[in-house]
Structure 1
Amino acid sequence: MTPRPVSSSLSSSAPASDPARSSQMAGVVQLGGRGVPITPGAGLYTARVAWRHSLRFRLALVYTLVALALISVIGLGVITLLLRQMDAQFDARLNERADTLAEAYVGSRQTLGKASGPAGGYTMLIGQDGQVIAASPSLRDYEKSPFPFENQEQVNIQDTPVRAVTRKVGDFGTLWVGLPTDALVDARVSAGRALALALLVTPVLMLLIGLWVGRRALTGLGRAAALADQIDPTHSVATLPLPAREDEVHRLLTAINRLLVRIDAGQAREKQLLGQIVHELGAPLTVLRASLARATERTADPEVVRAALVADELTFTTQDLMQLARGQLELKLAWHFIPSRTLQGRLDRLVPGTVFEGDWTGSLLCDPDRLTQAIRNLLANGRRAAGPEGRVVITLTETPETITFRVCDTGPGLPAELGDQIFEPFVSGSGSSGLGLSVSRQIALMHGGTLTASTQRASGAEFVLTIPGAALGDDEDEVGEG
């Protein structure tokens, strides 16, 4: 079947976005000329952060501890002051009662029982010999007995705490006056319970309120982190939108924007320089490659064949650099419908010694040059890993939906510490430039396919490049005629 061009100007396009998903977007920010959706589950904005690493939790905890310390100090100070004032008032009342009873007794010459004062107090008259001469009704049992509370200011009478003072009563002896302190004890207990309750409830309330307030206060910072997380440094970046309020978040985004401007300018200079270098190398390499190809046809000299292979290697390296300089968005695919044998012939010439397995009798809808570049990079990577004595096998499997190229080698396998980073630019585990695998994945994505890597159980690496199958018939009209 003769290959016929389908289109020479179709660009690679990503799969159409899901309308349902688009309707769920909370907002879109323009970054590098492309809309980046800020969805409820995208980026760092709604990432679930462990509580011990959460800034919101740490701030709430700090404010809670500060509030707990302040409440403890202020509460203890206030309660201590109030209790001292109550104690001073109690002592003043007790002394006033004692003075009043002493004056009333001496002045009226009445008996103690008739001049005992207000109810609720305790009084006793002690003679010169230390005997209780008279007592208030609740202390009748102590009359005609030795005074039992000598030099005691705090006593217990019938399980009631009593504070007492004494007064000299002329020649009669000493007047002992006491008042129950159960009100002071109850006040101390109530104050302690109130302080304990405040110390227990306040931290919980402060922590919950702090988490809620922190969540609202840090919303702008979370959105800024989400926007910054969406930035793709491999593309031209645009500045982030600034909030209306000139707060710390505004300052942070302003600093990020200044950094983005510097990054964008630096990337532009690097791409321009890289493009100029590749352009300067491309012309002489093309002439050299053509000359060596003609020389290879005229002679079978191994040195000439080897030089032709080196020229091919340099040509593909410059193509990788050119794609890196242009970027994926600026690169267009030239779609053609070609037999699989054509691709096999190209690969066999570019990477001699490759073993081809599978069904190569079908056809492919692709950009032949770009797909050859992608698979050639995989084969060259496998050849470097396997060495001269190793084996590199490519297997083609075709279904109505997909076409799969499986490249296996007998080398040591992929470095376990690199993982998926093996597809990042300038990351290499075999001493190469580190561009080939990155470019291969870009080309696979541009074809609407995928490229994955793994290490086989026995030995060696395995790369699987998958592109959509060639859909003919009604779909052909949608692609367009070349």
Structure 2
Amino acid sequence: MTRRPALRTARVAWRHSLRFRLALVYSLVALAITTVIGVAVVTLLLGSMDRQFDARLNERADVLAERFTNLSKGLGERPPPITGFTVLVDDQGRVALSSNGLGLQPGEPFPQVSTHRLRLQGTPVRAVTRKAGGFGTLWVGLPEDDLIAARESALRALLLSALVTPLLMLLLGYWAGRRALAGLGQAADLADRIDPTRSLATLPLPEREDEVHRLLAAINRLLVRIEAGQAREKQLLGQIVHELGAPLTVLKASLNRAAERTGDAEVSRAALVADELTFTTQDLMQLARGQLEMKLVWHYIPAKTLQGRLDRLVPGTEFQGDWTGGILCDPDRLTQALRNLLANARRAAGPEGSVSLTLEETPEQVRFTVRDSGPGLPPELGERIFEPFVSGAGSSGLGLSVSRQIALMHGGNVTGGNHAGGGAQFVLCIPGAALGDDQEDPDDEGETEEDPAALAAARP
């Protein structure tokens, strides 16, 4: 029985998405352009208004000064309307004449005659002076209220455009990017659903032959090349393992017979090395065939039978728990999975260390716990320890990956970590015999096409 977790489509967070980054870039560009153009326009506008204000002030001062200089000019003409402030100051700096509203008395000193910007009665005033013939100096000022109000209005408009324009650009850019990149997003969703254990499927191409079309077409060509390369690698690996399996089986059997006949410790160690190589070829065969290409051969075996196998394969293992019951499993595959866990534990613990295998069985679950007295798992590896060719103890890196694959084929799993008391601990769980009624009849499964050499090595 094989249980496989459902593949879930990985969604990209909005702040990490390409369309958001593009919209953000466009918004920042829009902000820069709006700010530069707005500052330039406001500067020109305010400069023009300032020049118009100065021209108006100078014109009024010239007209009034001309009337004081040329008394005959303008006789019978109506004087211009009085706007702003006007003060006639004599040569001693005293007020000779002032416009209404200033509250200045004749003969009163007027020290502001040389000041061109000041506040009168709480109003900002800009002023100029002119010679008034023999009457002294004419001081003419105009209030800047309107000019200041216009400047503030222009700055507020600039600030509002700097805030609103990027926000609108961000929203519009995100919406436009979402529509423009919709094909790419759909392709990413489909690529997420590709199962690497199956034949790789190509991605559908959009109707419009744009950059997205070119990218997806290139990805499809890459997928075809990857699938062809995987097929060649799998075929080559299977051929190599098959060629190695038979000689290793003969070598292992010969060394075992020689060890039994002579009792030589060196021959016994050589037989163990042959065992190691045999199981490595089995791991490679498992990797080459993949989980979907293999079927389990179910048997109900006594737990003692499994214990005997493992005791011969990994000597020095301490067996704990209750081994008097029975287990529904593929004996060869389960032996291979547990042997890999025990071999890794023995390698980590060393010759003087301890390795234990604890069996806990319930009607719903069979739980094997492998614990060693070694240094434990490297914390930086995490779940990567179950990936092929990733090893934290100098091994081939296939054992844990194959053990998890076999557990998944049984409907269980393998988890690993460090024990609180020190050392590493791996737990392999498979469904208990009580769940066997819901499984397919083992006789209906049929025997799988296994490598004879690999099966001979797995069975004691």
TM-score (norm 2): 0.78
Partner SS, residue 442 of structure 1: helix
Q: CA deviation at 1:197?
A: 4.0
Which residue type is aligned with residue 334 of structure 1?
V
Which residues in structure 2 correspond to 1:22-421 (within 5 Å)?
42-43=9-10, 45-46=11-12, 48=13, 59-94=22-57, 102=66, 106-110=72-76, 115-120=78-83, 158-160=121-123, 161-164=125-128, 166=130, 179-202=142-165, 222-229=185-192, 236-293=199-256, 295=258, 300-421=263-384
Q: CA deviation at 1:318?
A: 1.3
Q: CA deviation at 1:389?
A: 3.0
Does residue 14 of the first structure (1) align with residue 3 of the second (2)? yes
Which residue type is aligned with residue 282 of structure 1?
G
1:83 to 1:454, Cα distance in 2 relative to 1, 3 A: closer
Which residue type is aligned with residue 226 of structure 2?
I
Which residue type is aligned with residue 412 of structure 2?
G
User: Bigger CA drift: 214-223 or 361-370?
Assistant: 214-223
Q: CA deviation at 1:285?
A: 2.4
Q: CA deviation at 1:442?
A: 0.8
Q: Which residue of the partner structure matches residue 452 of structure 2? A: none
1:68-121: CA deviation from partner (whole Å, max 9, x where unpaired): 3333322222222223333343444455556666479634535xxx83222435
1:313-361: CA deviation from partner (whole Å, max 9, x where unpaired): 3222211111111111111212222222222222222223333332222
Q: Which residue of the partner structure matches residue 401 of structure 2? A: 438
1:454 to 411, 417, 421: 417
CA distance in 2: counterparts of 1:157 and 1:81, whole angstroms: 28
Q: CA deviation at 1:258?
A: 3.8
CA distance in 1: counterparts of 2:422 and 2:95, whole angstroms: 109
Q: Is the 8 A contact 1:120 1:180 kept in 2?
A: no
Q: CA deviation at 1:135?
A: 6.2
CA distance in 1: counterparts of 2:86 and 2:379, whole angstroms: 94
1:470 to 1:178, Cα distance in 2 relative to 1, 3 A: closer
Which residue type is aligned with residue 295 of structure 2?
K
1:465 to 412, 428, 434: 428
User: Bigger CA drift: 181-190 or 160-169?
Assistant: 160-169
CA distance in 2: counterparts of 1:230 and 1:387, whole angstroms: 43
Q: CA deviation at 1:462?
A: 2.1
User: Bigger CA drift: 408-417 or 195-204?
Assistant: 195-204
1:451 to 1:145, Cα distance in 2 relative to 1, 3 A: closer
CA distance in 1: counterparts of 2:412 and 2:296, whole angstroms: 14
CA distance in 1: counterparts of 2:398 and 2:176, whole angstroms: 48
Unaligned runs of at least 5 residues, structure 2: 447-460
CA distance in 1: counterparts of 2:117 and 2:267, whole angstroms: 117
User: Bigger CA drift: 392-401 or 132-141?
Assistant: 132-141
Q: Is the 8 A contact 2:328 2:433 kept in 1?
A: yes
Q: Is the 8 A contact 1:163 1:181 kept in 2?
A: no
CA distance in 1: counterparts of 2:348 and 2:310, whole angstroms: 18
CA distance in 2: counterparts of 1:134 and 1:357, whole angstroms: 118
1:72 to 1:106, Cα distance in 2 relative to 1, 3 A: farther
Which residue type is aligned with residue 188 of structure 1?
R
1:439 to 1:105, Cα distance in 2 relative to 1, 3 A: same
Equivalenced residues, count: 441
Which residue type is aligned with residue 357 of structure 1?
Q
Partner SS, residue 408 of structure 1: strand
Q: CA deviation at 1:401?
A: 0.7
Which residue type is aligned with residue 430 of structure 1?
A
Partner SS, residue 237 of structure 1: coil
Q: CA deviation at 1:468?
A: 0.8
User: Bigger CA drift: 386-395 or 365-374?
Assistant: 386-395
Q: Is the 8 A contact 1:426 1:435 kept in 2?
A: yes
CA distance in 1: counterparts of 2:46 and 2:166, whole angstroms: 25
1:329 to 1:105, Cα distance in 2 relative to 1, 3 A: farther
1:88 to 1:399, Cα distance in 2 relative to 1, 3 A: same
Q: CA deviation at 1:398?
A: 1.3
User: Bigger CA drift: 184-193 or 242-251?
Assistant: 242-251
Which residue type is aligned with residue 292 of structure 2?
L
Q: Is the 8 A contact 2:252 2:275 kept in 1?
A: yes
CA distance in 2: counterparts of 1:350 and 1:225, whole angstroms: 46
CA distance in 2: counterparts of 1:372 and 1:300, whole angstroms: 26
Higher relative contact order (CA closer than 8 Å, sequence separation 6+): 1
Identity %: 66
User: Bigger CA drift: 310-319 or 369-378?
Assistant: 310-319
1:427-471: CA deviation from partner (whole Å, max 9, x where unpaired): 222322221221111111111111122222333322211111123
Unaligned runs of at least 5 residues, structure 1: 1-11, 18-35
1:355 to 1:203, Cα distance in 2 relative to 1, 3 A: same
Q: Is the 8 A contact 1:99 1:167 kept in 2?
A: no
User: Bigger CA drift: 190-199 or 390-399?
Assistant: 190-199
CA distance in 2: counterparts of 1:261 and 1:477, whole angstroms: 36
TM-score (norm 1): 0.75
CA distance in 1: counterparts of 2:97 and 2:424, whole angstroms: 111
1:272-293: CA deviation from partner (whole Å, max 9, x where unpaired): 2111111111222233344445
1:341 to 1:136, Cα distance in 2 relative to 1, 3 A: closer
Q: Is the 8 A contact 2:113 2:129 kept in 1?
A: no
Q: CA deviation at 1:297?
A: 6.0
Q: CA deviation at 1:163?
A: 3.9
Q: Is the 8 A contact 1:371 1:443 kept in 2?
A: yes
Q: Which residue of the partner structure matches residue 3 of structure 1? A: none
Which residue type is aligned with residue 405 of structure 1?
F
Q: Is the 8 A contact 1:162 1:178 kept in 2?
A: yes
